[in-house]
Amino acid sequence: MIHLEALSKTYAHSGTKAVDGLSLDIRDGEIFGFLGPNGAGKTTTIKMLSGVLRPDEGRVAIDGIDMAQKPLEAKARFGYVGDNPELFTRLKAREFLNFIADMYRVPDDARCERIASLAGRFEIADALASPIGSFSRGMKQKLCLVASLVHDPANWILDEPMVGLDPQAAFTLKELMRSRAASGRCVFFSTHVMEVAERLCDRIAVITKGRVVFVGTLDELRDRRSSGGDESLERLFLDLVEDASGGRV
């Protein structure tokens, strides 16, 4: 369960207000899609949500634990896949996964079992002895996905997780998202791919210029747009963003 309350962030270096009074509640057992055009504030929101950036205003709580008050406890409650899979290329995949498992204090048996299962599903088990630097972009992304689940978190936060994945891995990821949500866990991810959001998400939020302009189900979006029920999410999304931008996308 993720709670974001009136989050705002202005970058000190550029003076850009990236997120402006954003509030969201993501429930357990749902897949929540976070949509928005480039530069809308998706990654900034995810970074605040994952404790990477400190909000100027507002509050983040993971399973009721306040990120500002108890950051380590809050961080232990989620798995995070960031927007940059180019991590620690000098480490071997095994060393990276062991390191992440150590950070979450995962016992030996559990880490072996989860890594065997996840690395098998993403088809990187045979590459675990290799340096990450020798991996392709997609393999690095798969490795980050495996690492994010090594402690079997209650919440899964992913920033553009489909980027670089082959169709098989993208399918596996979607299956994993569904199975985690079905077992009562929370999945929060950002994406540009409307088809993925349309087929996968229980609810979506659309953000543009740092503000949430819609939260709800796809049907609710269609009702709100009075579109007659058969318009694609892509069309609805573009209309929504165009309206929020004052007629320009």
Partner 1 sequence: MTAPFASLIRFYLRAFYGFSDAARVPLPPGTAAGTKAARAKRILATIGLALLVILVVGDIGFIFGASYAAMYAALAPAGLQSLLLLNAAISAALIAFVVGFVTALSTYCLSPAEGSLLALPIGPRALFGAKFAMTYLADAALSFIMLAVAALVYGLGERPPVSFYLYAILVALASPLVPLALAYLLLVPIMSVSRFLRNRNVVLVLGGILGAAAALVVNFYLQNSLARAGDAAWIIANLAGPDTILARLGAVYPPAGLAARALAHAAAGRQLDALGAAALALGMGAAAALAVVLIFGPAYAASLPAFGEGRLKRIAKSDTAAYIERSFRRSPQLAALFLREWRLMNREPVYLINGPLVIVLFPVIIGITMAASPEAFAELEGVAHALGGGPAKALIAAALAAFLGTATSIAATALSREGRALPYLKSLPVSARSFFGAKLLHALVFTSIGTVLGAAAGAAALGLSVAETLAALAMALTYGTAFDLSALWLDTAYPRLVWETPTAALKQNPNAVIAILADMAALGGLGYLATRLSLGLGGITALYAGGAGLIALGLALFFPRYAEKRLGDIEL
Least distance between partner 1 and beta carbon 150 (Å):
9
Strand partners, 156: 79, 187
Strands (E), the chain: 2-10, 17-26, 31-35, 57-62, 65-66, 78-81, 155-159, 186-191, 203-208, 211-216
Stretches 8-16, 170-178, 199-207, 217-225: which one binds partner 1 (CB under 8 A)? 8-16
Site string for partner 1, 76-105 (x = CB under 8 A): x---x-x-x-xxx-xx--xx-xxxxxxxxx
Supply the DSSP symbol for 2. Answer: E
Find the binder of partner 1 among 115, 145, 204, 221 (CB under 8 A): 115
What's the rounded Cα separation, in Å, for the pair 103 and 25? 27
Contact flag: residue 54 with partner 1 (CB under 8 A): yes
Contact flag: residue 34 with partner 1 (CB under 8 A): no
What's the rounded Cα separation, in Å, for the pair 179 and 98? 25
Contact flag: residue 116 with partner 1 (CB under 8 A): yes
The answer to whether residues 81 and 148 touch, using CB atoms and an 8 Å cutoff, is yes
Least distance between partner 1 and beta carbon 12 (Å):
6
Q: Specify the residue, 103 or 182, whose C-beta has the smaller distance to partner 1.
A: 103
Among 42, 43, 33, residue whose Cα is nearest residue 236: 33
Find the binder of partner 1 among 75, 121, 203, 222 (CB under 8 A): 75
Site string for partner 1, 194-233 (x = CB under 8 A): ----------------------------------------
